[in-house]
Amino acid sequence: MTTPAITAATAATIAANATITAANAAIAAATAKADSAGEDPGNGTAHEAVTTVAALAPTLHRLREAWQAQPPGYAQRRADLLRLRAALKRRLPEMARTIAADFGHRSHDESLLADGMTVLAGIDHLLRHLRGWMKPRNVGAGWRLWPARAQLRHVPLGVVGVIAPWNYPVNLALIPLATAIAAGNHVFLKPSEHTPRTTRFLQELLAEVFPASRVAVADGGAELAGAFAALPFDHLVFTGSTAVGRKVMAAAAANLTPLTLELGGKSPAIVCADYPIERAAARLATGKWFNAGQTCVAPDYVLLVGRARRDALVQALRTEVAARYGDLGDGAPDYSRIVNDAQFDRLQGWLDEARARGCEVLPLAPTHGRAQRLFAPVLVLDPPDDLALMREEIFGPILPLVCVDSLEQAIAFVNARSRPLALYPFSHERGQVETILRSTLAGGVTVNDTLLHFAAENLPFGGVGASGMGAYHGRAGFDALSKPLPVLWQARRSATDLLHPPYPRIRRMIDLLLR
């Protein structure tokens, strides 16, 4: 005989399976579309899934049961972070070689800086401040509740899911993971299937540091990612394209899973008329061509205030490329490759479109070849707004240069588009910078340079609107991945004991509270 309880449970299971199936299909479709558009590309080969969809829920259950049995305290959190730091530091050369193998070639030193140094610095910051962040913080309860006391306690959430991208596959996996550990959670990590060797490196690294009941790693493709996003996490951190981010958000909605979405967009640099061209070129070159432009906060286009300086900026950028990379021959050890053939072909297609539309396209180095996926730095001068490279995030070494006649025109150009993840004003006149900051909105800003706000541990990192929601890094990440629990301590005797009917007897007290 079928009982109502069994019927309800069966219906719930069917509904959950339907949610996961829909999420799988939606995220797989979005990923396929992103592959062709370049938003979340594949590596050109089929990825053999190691983790099955059926294994996800039991793994989450194991992590949650272990966390509920004993939520990590200060000593364990600190010990975990110290072991993670030591293990990563010891394996940095292996990490850089592994990432290079996934990319075909990636600058060894860029991997050490972007995927090594940033993680070590982030863990150091967490270790330095963890004890203070964990302490209950007294706050005022207000005179109306006197003599009650109020405090905030940052308590862990439970199990945090992390979906990491391919472009900085260690950095963008381990920084949110370490932050979640610092906040007292267990972690289920899904690295990108497009860097499979790095995924195996992360599996081995984390298995060395953590028991399987505290940190787990899921390895698989788009179908697995869809099922992963649909799991009932206590918080989910996703880094990737805006298109896939929308699907992740839809999948998480079935469980009302809180989200941190780190997306992308078209991050502008505004070079004002007073700023030295050579210095602007040097700092733009670093931001744009680090990791061959495959950086979510890379300058996506430059707005140059003053058309008369265009040729000077073009020449200064050409000089920077020559000084840094030469002609990109002899293996170009300091210049990273495009991660896969699909990405290379997308970028080449966008350049072909620009040429077909009559745009001036200026390669800044002669070496360029699909065989090695070596895509030379290139400028596109004053492209029309309807080109693909002006509509979509470029995520490669193409830099559009748009000339405007005034700062007001530059601001209007930025505001006509979705809010970017990053904004880079270049000016030594404080008033001009303040005008830009007052008139625009971005996820983060570096003034007179690029990228560096990402590395400032005391600054939250996150987008706004189409470039993301929520923030992490440092204290912002600790707060996002814990619950600020409000606690009110009532005194043995309190005037609020009188706040009950019949109210006419305390009318004077009520009048006082309404002051």
**Domain check: are 305 and 215 in the same one?**
no
User: Is residue 36 pLDDT above 70, yes or no?
Assistant: no
**Domain check: are 183 and 301 in the same one?**
no
Which whole number is the average pLDDT over 284-309? 97
Lowest mean per-residue pLDDT among 1-10, 68-77, 281-290: 1-10
pLDDT at residue number 331:
77
Listed in sequence order, the DSSP H helices in 210-308 are 222-229, 242-253, 277-289
Query: Which CATH number characterizes residue 344's domain?
Result: 3.40.309.10
Print the domain residue range for 210: 4-263+470-484
Lowest mean per-residue pLDDT among 33-47, 165-179, 249-263: 33-47
pLDDT at residue number 44:
37
500 lies in some domain: no
Q: Do β-strands 259-262 and 235-239 pair in parallel, antiparallel, or remain unpaired?
A: parallel
pLDDT at residue number 329:
82
With helix as H, strand as E and coil as C, how does 318-367 read? Answer: HHHHHHHHCCCCCCCCCCCCCCCHHHHHHHHHHHHHHHHCCCEEEECCCC
Residue for token pair 């939250």: 460
**Domain check: are 56 and 117 in the same one?**
yes
pLDDT at residue number 3:
37
**Domain check: are 52 and 154 in the same one?**
yes
Residue for token pair 């992103």: 34
Catalytic residue annotation: 262
496 lies in some domain: no
pLDDT at residue number 440:
97
**Domain check: are 373 and 250 in the same one?**
no
pLDDT at residue number 49:
56
Residues of the chain with pLDDT > 90, as a percent, come to: 85
Lowest mean per-residue pLDDT among 10-24, 37-51, 159-173: 10-24
Q: Which helix (H) or strand (E) holds 502?
A: none
User: Is residue 20 pLDDT above 70, yes or no?
Assistant: no
pTM to 2 decimals?
0.89
Which whole number is the average pLDDT over 382-406? 96
494 lies in some domain: no
Cα distances from 55 to residues 91, 203, 218, 220, in angstroms, run 29, 16, 9, 11
Q: Where residue 100 falls among pLDDT bands split at 50, 70, 90? A: very high
**Domain check: are 249 and 346 in the same one?**
no
How are strands ordered across the β-sheet holding 149-156? 137-139, 149-156, 482-489
515 lies in some domain: no
Q: Which residues pair with 441 in a beta bridge?
A: none
pLDDT at residue number 368:
79
**Domain check: are 293 and 237 in the same one?**
no
**Domain check: are 35 and 91 in the same one?**
yes
**Domain check: are 212 and 279 in the same one?**
no
202 lies in some domain: yes
pLDDT tens for each residue of 379-390: 999 999 999 999
Report the distance separating Cα 154 and Cα 134, nearest Å.
Answer: 6
pLDDT at residue number 48:
53
495 lies in some domain: no
Q: Where residue 369 falls among pLDDT bands split at 50, 70, 90? A: confident
Establish how many alpha carbons lie within 13 A of residue 395's alpha carbon, considering only the half-sphere containing its beta carbon.
31
pLDDT at residue number 202:
98
pLDDT at residue number 320:
97
How many domains are there within the chain?
2
pLDDT tens for each residue of 334-351: 999 999 999 999 999 999
54 lies in some domain: yes
User: Is residue 486 pLDDT above 60, yes or no?
Assistant: yes
**Domain check: are 90 and 213 in the same one?**
yes
Lowest mean per-residue pLDDT among 34-48, 65-79, 271-285: 34-48
Q: Where residue 330 falls among pLDDT bands split at 50, 70, 90? A: confident
pLDDT at residue number 43:
40
Q: Which residues pair with 369 in a beta bridge?
A: 374
pLDDT tens for each residue of 215-274: 999 999 989 999 999 999 999 999 999 999 999 999 999 999 999 999 989 999 999 999
492 lies in some domain: no
Residues of the chain with pLDDT > 70, as a percent, come to: 90
Cβ 180 vs Cβ 206: under 8 Å: no
Residue type, 323: A
**Domain check: are 331 and 423 in the same one?**
yes
**Domain check: are 127 and 23 in the same one?**
yes
Query: Which CATH number characterizes residue 174's domain?
Result: 3.40.605.10
